[in-house]
Structures are given as C-alpha cells and as structure tokens.
Amino acid sequence: MLTSCISRLTRLLVAALAAALLTLSAVSLPAQESRKAISRPAPVYPEAAKRLLLSGTVKVQVVIASDGHVKEVKVIGGHPLFVDAVQEALKNWKYEPASNDSAVLLEFNFHP
C-alpha cells in the first residue's frame, strides 16, 4: 500500500512539473503567428536521401529575434539528413522586425 501511494505521488509530481514547465515556456516566448516571414528559402532535399528514397518530417522550434533573424533552432524530431538541410535553410530565413523575440513551431516534409 505504501508503495502504491508513493507511486501515485510521484506520477502526480511529474505531471505537475510538466505542466509548470509548459506554462513557463509559453509565458517566456509567446508564438506570434501574425509575424510575417520576409524570406523563407526551402530546405534542399539531400542527395543521399534521394538515392535511398527516404521521406520524412522534421519538426523544429525556432526562436526569432526582435530584428527578424532566426536566433535559435531546437530540433524536436526528424531524420539527421533532413535535420541538417532544415538547419541550413533556416540560416537564411528572415521575419519582419518586432518588439520582442518570439517562438514558432515549424514542420518540414521531405518526399523523393
């Protein structure tokens, strides 16, 4: 019985911590869907992926600086070949300036 109580308490604490972290991240970097992209060159489909007929999706969270350049890229998931292509392309992305940094979740799909 004591083990069961400890297990429930642990799950409750983990859930509360996860909720708190999600709230803090949402407060510190609000997503601004209305922020217009000035330049969004598409990632290049890697030659190695073409040869292997690979397809896949890359998900990234991007922090956009107030001056509009991509300040930070956090990879959420994706094949390493495609992740490299996305990171290279994002170096050339530019958004309109804003008063604060903002964050946006992006998804890139690759198909041969």
pLDDT digits 0-9 by tens, 21-38: 333 233 333 444 568 999
For residues 59 and 79, state if they share a domain: yes
Helix (H, G, I), strand (E, B) or coil at 39: strand
Phi, psi of 32 (to 5 degrees): -120, 90
Query: Which stretch of DSSP H or E encloses residue 75?
Result: strand 70-77
For residues 98 and 76, state if they share a domain: yes
What is the CB neighbour count within 10 angstroms for residue 110?
Answer: 21
Domain range holding 35? 31-110
How many structural domains is the chain composed of? 2
More confident residue, 24 or 85: 85
Whole-number mean pLDDT of the chain? 79
Please give the Cα distance from 87 to 39 (Å, whole number): 15
More confident residue, 101 or 22: 101
Band (pLDDT 50/70/90 cuts) for residue 20 is: very low
pTM above the 0.75 mark? no
For residues 73 and 24, state if they share a domain: no
Residue 92: closest CA among 62, 112, 48: 62
